[in-house]
């Protein structure tokens, strides 16, 4: 069934090709006859036959042009259109070759007769090539257009006649082979085109279903994250309340572990929720006025305590050209900064962490987080901002983490119209930076 449909489609497309080739060529036939009539004296005996035939050629050319125009957009009715093109083409060529041989037979033999004869071989050669999409038509045309001339050549019964008939015979054979080769080549091309189109369709369908599956997964993740977050907040709230009550040493330690694990889980769920929102294009970036220095101090306070507990140096520098009030999304700026600073602290055991906030140029604000930690291998740097990308398994085992923080940071920075990057060398530390176009007011 599939092969039948494919071969039908192949035939239909070959007809479209044929239609586009023969659209205007039909009008060459009346012109050819006009040239013959001008040069060869047509005796009064054949006058009406010739001109009636010429009128039929003109009407035939109109018929074929109309059929060819329909063939270019042919769908279900393509077979009948093909028949129309076949019949009109053969009628045209039969009329033209008959009338031309009549003109040759009627007039005295001249150099022009030779010219007509060999001009007609070229015309047949051209026709075989043009009709190549329909091999049956090309073959029939080859015969129909040559037979009247061969008959005329043989009827002359002299060496010119025999020689011309031989040349026609050889040409017929060559043109037959040429039409067959051209047809095979065309069929191959059209088959490849059909295959490519069907592959493109398959790929489009596969892409659509993959997108649909990804949307469903994102939606599911968003719903689940939301559903998990509510009871989790309840658990963390209760453990915090418990920590404020009277507990013995062991109970305090256990509740402390519970609270810490709950907070870890909350960070993870929040990351997943953010990522699914970003992937679904649902995360909105706000544009409100905020105090950047205040935001930096607030973000740094808890992290600075962590740095002190690890005996690490901590340095915050806000350059004087940085405006006090800025216009942007403070929640997201803080989220990116916290991600980078937490990583810097997590991956640093000696030395310290510094933050430098300045202007990259008049428009862009540049945040630089530098640490003296373990650093990242050059080979791993390229994909470090991809989801679930971690420098290596041993780092993950030692430091924990999900590989989402940097991916979220990159997407957030890009949503805010900025860019993010990193330089690092193993054992020496890393420098993470991001630039944002936060418009500000220095007063
Ligand atoms: P997570 O830290 O949760 O694994 P991130 O996306 O924040 O996920 O970081 C991805 C990986 O990049 C980390 O696992 C770590 O290997 C590497 N990395 C990030 N920041 C630093 C840093 N300051 N120093 C060394 N490695 C880092």
Task: Tell me if 438 sits within 8 A of 327, measured CB to CB.
Answer: yes
Per-residue pLDDT tens over the stretch 235-269: 999 999 999 999 999 999 999 999 988 988 888 88
Per-residue pLDDT tens over the stretch 266-277: 888 888 888 888
Residue nearest to atom 16 of ligand 1 (CA): 391
**Which residues does residue 430 pair with via DSSP β-bridges, in sequence order?**
424
Residue nearest to atom 3 of ligand 1 (CA): 401
Tell me if 345 CB under 6 Å of ligand 1: no
Rounded to 10 degrees, the C-alpha dihedral 259/265/268/272 comes to -130
Which residue ranges make up each domain of the chain?
2-203, 288-441
Residue 84 confidence (pLDDT): 95
Tell me if 335 CB under 6 Å of ligand 1: no
∠ CA 326-327-328, rounded to 5°: 115
Q: Among the residues of 23-46, which ranges form H helices?
A: 28-39
What's this model's pTM, rounded to 2 decimal places? 0.56
Between CA 437 and CA 67 the distance in angstroms is 63
Number of Cα atoms under 13 Å in the Cβ half of residue 155? 11
Q: Which two tokens stand for residue 276?
A: 């699914």
C-alpha 426 – ligand 1 centre gap (Å): 13
Closest CA to 378 of 425, 414, 336: 425
Q: How many CB atoms lie within 10 A of CB 131?
A: 28
Domain 288-441 class?
Answer: alpha beta
Tell me if 342 CB under 6 Å of ligand 1: no
Per-residue pLDDT tens over the stretch 299-337: 999 899 999 999 999 999 999 888 888 899 999 999 999
Q: How many CB atoms lie within 10 A of CB 16?
A: 17
Quick one: what percent of the chain has pLDDT higher than 70? 91
Ligand 1 atom index nearest CA of 404: 6
Residue located via tokens 């599911």 = 220
Residue 354 confidence (pLDDT): 96
Residue 442 confidence class, pLDDT cut points 50, 70, 90: low
C-alpha 330 – ligand 1 centre gap (Å): 23
Q: Which two tokens stand for residue 84?
A: 């129309």
Tell me if 336 CB under 6 Å of ligand 1: no
Residue located via tokens 């800025």 = 326
C-alpha 403 – ligand 1 centre gap (Å): 7
Between CA 133 and CA 136 the distance in angstroms is 9
Tell me if 384 CB under 6 Å of ligand 1: yes
Between CA 315 and CA 313 the distance in angstroms is 7
Tell me if 271 CB under 6 Å of ligand 1: no
- Mean pLDDT for all residues in the chain: 86
């Amino acid at each position: 069934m599939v092969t039948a449909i494919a071969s039908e489609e192949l035939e239909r497309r070959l007809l479209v090709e044929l239609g586009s080739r023969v659209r205007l060529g039909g009008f060459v036939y009346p012109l050819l006859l006009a040239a013959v009539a001008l040069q060869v004296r047509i005796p009064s005996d054949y006058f009406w036959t010739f001109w009636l035939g010429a009128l039929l050629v003109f009407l035939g050319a109109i018929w074929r042009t109309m059929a060819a125009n329909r063939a270019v957009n042919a769908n279900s009715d393509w077979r009948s259109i093909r028949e129309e093109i076949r019949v009109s083409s053969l009628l045209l060529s039969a009329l033209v070759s008959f009338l031309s041989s009549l003109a040759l037979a009627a007039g005295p033999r001249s150099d022009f007769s030779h010219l007509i004869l060999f001009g007609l071989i070229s015309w047949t050669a051209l026709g075989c090539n043009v009709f190549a999409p329909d091999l049956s038509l090309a073959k029939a045309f080859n015969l129909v257009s040559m037979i009247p001339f061969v008959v005329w050549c043989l009827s002359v019964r002299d060496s010119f006649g025999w020689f011309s008939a031989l040349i026609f015979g050889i040409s017929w054979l060559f043109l037959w082979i040429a039409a067959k080769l051209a047809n095979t080549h065309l069929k191959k091309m059209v088959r490849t085109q059909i295959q490519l189109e069907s592959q493109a369709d398959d790929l489009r369908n596969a892409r659509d279903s993959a997108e649909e599956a990804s949307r469903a997964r994102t939606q599911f993740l968003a719903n689940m994250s939301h559903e998990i977050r509510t009871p989790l907040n309840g658990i963390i709230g209760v453990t915090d309340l418990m920590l404020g009550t009277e507990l013995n040493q062991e109970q305090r330690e256990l509740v402390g572990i519970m609270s810490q694990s709950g907070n870890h889980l909350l960070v993870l769920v929040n990351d997943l929720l953010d990522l699914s929102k970003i992937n679904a294009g649902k995360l909105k970036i706000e544009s409100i006025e905020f105090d950047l220095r205040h935001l930096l101090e607030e973000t740094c306070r808890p992290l600075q305590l962590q740095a002190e507990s690890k005996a690490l140096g901590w340095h915050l520098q806000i350059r004087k050209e940085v405006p006090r009030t800025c216009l942007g999304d403070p929640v997201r700026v803080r989220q990116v900064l916290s991600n980078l600073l937490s990583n810097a602290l997590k991956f640093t055991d000696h030395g310290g962490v510094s933050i430098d906030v300045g202007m990259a140029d008049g428009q862009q604000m540049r945040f630089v987080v530098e640490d003296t930690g373990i650093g990242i291998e050059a080979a791993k740097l390229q994909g470090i901002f991809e989801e679930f990308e971690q420098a290596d398994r041993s780092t993950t085992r030692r430091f924990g983490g999900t590989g989402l923080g940097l991916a979220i940071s990159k997407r957030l920075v890009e949503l805010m119209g900025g860019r993010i990057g990193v330089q690092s060398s193993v054992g020496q530390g890393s420098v993470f930076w991001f630039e944002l176009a936060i418009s500000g007011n220095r007063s």
